[in-house]
Amino acid sequence: MTTQLSYSMFHDVLFPADEVEKGGFNDHRFFLRQLIRFTPPPELPLSDASLVIFDFETTGLSPVNDRIIEIGAQKIKGSEVIDEFSTLICPDVELSQNTISLTGLSAEILKDQPKIEEVLPKFLKFIEQGILVAHNAEFDFSFLKAASARLGIDLDWPCFCTLKLSKIILPELSERNLDALARHFGFNFEARHRSIGDVKVTASVLKAMLSDPRAQMISKWCDISSIYVR
């Protein structure tokens, strides 16, 4: 939690509320935080928007205790992929055995990869003016916000979830995980549980769902407010 300065010209400077509540700053240091925000216009057509489909692999399931070990993303405008982002990351915590089994990644593979301190600013630059999209977006977005917070950045960014979208457009499906949606539309993974492989399938699933006649009511940013992830 943070407390924002009111009536200040420094609108992007935040102070950690927990430090204020504990009577912090006794050593006269200022603990400055940066607020990074993007708010798309409500009437922005999705066909004109830059959609950043992204996926993380992580050391475990907790955004507090675990860390990102791989980022994959594609920036899409209309039906065209206009940019791509993909990197491994060396974490500062151990990988769970489940992560090693799922991804095939290991401490040995990751040890010479860049740290999150180097990667995250580049990723935040990549997503500029883009709306984030992920499958089960609460998971990935929670890791993005946690990683940003550890680097002194409070992230306020639009992000919506293809899992939630599938509940609206494909209510007849009993399963809506990424594997089930890939089967439904006949898509194959180039690499499952690797970020860029999952991103490519998510992008194909999103395109297919938005092409469904039942998605006719979803054409602008304001139309997907119910599946907006905070």
Residues 63-74 have a mean pLDDT of 97
Q: Give the pLDDT score at 79.
A: 84
DSSP character string of 122-172: HHHHHTTTEEEEETTHHHHHHHHHHHHHHTTEEEE--EEEHHHHHHHH-TT
Q: Report pLDDT digits (tens) over 31-66.
A: 688 999 999 999 999 999 999 999 999 999 999 999
Q: Give the pLDDT score at 15.
A: 47
Residues 98-125 have a mean pLDDT of 96
Residues 148-163 have a mean pLDDT of 96
CATH of 50-227, one of 3.40.30.160, 1.20.1440.230, 3.30.420.10, 3.20.20.70: 3.30.420.10
Nearest alpha carbon to residue 162 among 129, 200, 128: 200
Q: Give the pLDDT score at 169.
A: 95
Q: Give the pLDDT score at 32.
A: 80
* Bridge partners, 11 (sequence order): none
- Every domain of the chain and the residues it spans: 2-31, 50-227
Look at residue 225 and tell me whether its pLDDT is greater than 60. yes
Look at residue 160 and tell me whether its pLDDT is greater than 60. yes
Look at residue 176 and tell me whether its pLDDT is greater than 90. yes
Say whether 197 sits in a helix, a strand or coil. Answer: helix
